[in-house]
Each structure stands twice: as C-alpha cells, then as structure tokens.
Amino acid sequence: MAVTIEAPPSQVWPWLVQMGCDRAGWYSWDRLDNGGVASARRIHPEWQQISMGDHLASTPSGSTWFEVAALDPGRFLALRAPLDLRGRPFDTRGPRPRLYTDSLWAFLLDEVQGGHSRLVVSGYAAAKPGLLAAIGNFLLWEPAHWLMQTRQFANLKIRAEAGQE
C-alpha cells in the first residue's frame, strides 16, 4: 500500500518515528489500536530518537510490542512483531516457538517530484500452523489491516501536510 503526501520526507519522518501506544499512537482508529487514546497531533521532540532493537508498544498495556528491526533514518523503518500463539513476544535470537506468528511492518519513504513524499508500506508474516494462519489472514487480518492502514495513511497525510507553510 502507498500514499503520496504533499510534504517533503523531512516532514513525514518525524511522524513515523514517534509511533507506538506508549508514544504518539498509530494514527489509525484510536479506539481499536490505541486503547481509545487519541494519536498525537504534533511532533514530540522527546519521541524523535529511535534505534535498532527499541520496543514500540503495540498495545496499551505494553505487553506486546514492535521491535525496530531495520532503520535507515529519514527513509526506512521496519517493525517486527514476533508472538507465540498465547500472544506473548518471543526472543528472535533463539528458535521460534512451536506455534507462532512473526510479522514485519515496513515503511519506505521516498521523495518524489515537487518535493513531495511517497510512503510505501509493506508487510510479511510467517506463522505456524500455516494453514490456520492463511485462513485467518484471508478472512480477518488482511481486511482489517487494509482498513487500519488506509486510516493511518489519511491521518499521516493530514498531519504532515499541515506542517507545510
């Protein structure tokens, strides 16, 4: 999925790096993905530092998170969510549990003509049991992700473009 934002990447990137339930939220449907807490409407300087291995809470309780798996500041951010089927994160330095889901959510930010940005979001997931995961992805995860990602794009676009002079 992708969106063109009428702002330079330097105005979009700060919104991406401050994501997280324990930070600026996810800019989607806050009742669903941020425990009803409104996502930030401004850039927070205290949330602008992000490093490989950092955890960004994916739920309000902080019991699950995305780990910063890849980072090229100003251009690329990949978030990994390895969970066993009890919903608990597992250590990616060791073997995967017998039953798991291991997903990646990646954000690529490029400058396009006119000083605008093209934000491309992609994902990957591996899971066991595979057949059950495939059915769940088709029936639930993909439609839900499309709705949430579309809303996130719309809100990121509004926020980043509002910074234009």
CA distance 133 to 111: 36
CA distance 115 to 126: 36
CA 24, 113, 148, 104 torsion-angle sign: negative
Give the contacts of 129 (CB within 8 A, at least 6 positions apart): 99
| Whole-number pLDDT of residue 164 | 54
More confident residue, 140 or 73: 73
| Whole-number pLDDT of residue 38 | 93
- The mean-pLDDT minimum among 83-97, 120-134, 135-149 falls in 135-149
Q: What are phi and psi of 76, to 5 degrees?
A: -145, 135
Residue 112, pLDDT > 90, answer yes
pTM for the full model? 0.90
Burial tier of 146 (Cβ tally within 10 Å: 0-12, 13-18, 19+): exposed
Residue 34, pLDDT > 90, answer no
Question: Taking all residues of the chain, what is their mean pLDDT, rounded to a whole number?
Answer: 91
